[in-house]
A and B are shown apart, each in its own frame.
Chain A
Amino acid sequence: MIRVVLPAHLRALSGAGGEVTLEVPGAVTQGTVLDALERAYPTLRGTVRDHVTRKRRPFVRFFACGRDLSHEPSDAPLPESVAAGSEPYLIVGAIAGG
């Protein structure tokens, strides 16, 4: 099972808790994890990735294992510890001050 941590707005929108667990068939990549997330929680479609371009929204970041994976290709394998479920995959809203 893949563990995914959602930001507060998306927890409220999806009705999910802070951390969700997902079955990801096949290769565990950012693309397949986000596909699985959107299948499990359809209300999140379009909120992490643009509906049309499928690109990450500019103020959303992806972290795991202390690394920023936001600019990694969507089909690159995620770290083994994320695939094994020992580390979570974090979806983070960029901070904004003011």
Chain B
Amino acid sequence: MSGVRVLVGTRKGAFVLTSDGKRERWDVSGPHFPGWEVYHLKGSPADPSRIYAAPSSGWFGQTMHRSSDGGATWETIGNAFAYEGEAGTHQWYDGTLKPWEFKRVWHLEPSPDDPNLVYAGVEDAALFRTTDGGTTWQEMPGLRKQDSGPSWQPGAGGMCLHTILLDPAKGTPQFVAISAAGAFRSDDGGATWQPANRGLRSDFIPNPEAEVGHCVHRIARHPSRPDVLFMQKHWDVMRSDDRGASWHEVSGNLPTDFGFPIEVHAHEPETIYVVPITSDSHHFPPEGKLRVYRSRTGGNEWDALTAGLPQEDCYVNVLRDAMSVDALDPCGIYFGTTGGQVYASNDAGDSWNAIVRDLPAVLSVELQTLT
């Protein structure tokens, strides 16, 4: 019997939502880690019972946890994230240089093959990994020591590494995205990195087409099309057809091209989803209508999906890690809001229902498809 598990990170703990393959009736467990900010939790593709979670606190810093039973129980694992060698400096808001300082984990990306191998994107921006199930974490320093590193600076949310795409063939890090430095590509499994921002234009930096300094919010791709990438930038929805060597805009008829998440349909590589947000100063949907936009043409031509979503007086946001798809047929798509709702569609976005309505602000939504 197939089913799904929705892993929800919130401002005040984590929740696990489960359903059978119909995705109509849901069981809710949680809060796990009550009172802690759970930026992200994600399951291992190699062992779906293994889930990693990254609760943090403004008071008590970062903790890390691992479940071996699908999120029913958790054990505390290593939480020491030390930068490799000399920490170095990056740009700060006031024009001074600031030493790299670990603040929190934003994103976890477990290996597709090995349940003990996990990559972690952190603030201040760096890439770490564990090979022992989270007991110890080591930096992959080639990214931070990339030539442009000292010129990186934080966005308003902090200088965070929030997106990690693994090479579909090798399972090793291939793309990361950092706010507000941009996208970076590695061709050697994460040892060395190059900026991958050609074609991006950001009017909030002195040179709008600079090699780095872009506020990339999220990158997604379909595993069957390793050369094709989709990006939700601070403004602009972008597409690359050459593995990040260049990007072109596919915002098309969107009501606004500001937003945070972007996702790809599990079975249709040219079907993509975004949630337009009014602007960088108005982090809520245009006209108070919560609309997911779907393109079946890989961008440019977009249709609003509204059935079951609030179409008046809605002023929530949907954050960058808060949308995900399952692998069932028809494809399910899910997103969480800063108002505490988690919406699910079991028909690729044609209709929506709220699984839960009153959670703390949702920071992340990840799917596990169980068989």
Contact = CB atoms under 8 A, between A and B. Distances in A.
Interface of A: 7-10, 12-13, 43, 45-48, 50-52, 57, 59-60, 93-94, 96
Nearest to A10: B60
Given A46-B80, A51-B79, A9 B61 contact: no
Contacts of B82: 51-52
Interface of B: 34-36, 57-63, 76, 79-82, 102
A53 B247 CA distance: 41
B80 A45 contact: yes
B59 A46 contact: no
B80 A13 contact: no
Contact of B59 (A43, A45, A50, A59): A59
A49 to B, nearest CB: 9
A47 B76 contact: no
Contacts of B36: 9
B61 A50 contact: yes
B61 A43 contact: no
B221 to A, nearest CB: 34
Contacts of B62: 46
B147 to A, nearest CB: 25
Contacts of A52: 82, 102
Contacts of A57: 59-61
B60 to A, nearest CB: 4
A13 B59 CA distance: 13
A54 to B, nearest CB: 12
Given A9-B36, A13-B63, A52-B102, A45 B58 contact: no
A12 B65 CA distance: 13
A51 B60 contact: no
A13 B62 CA distance: 12
A60 B59 contact: yes
B108 to A, nearest CB: 17
A97 to B, nearest CB: 13
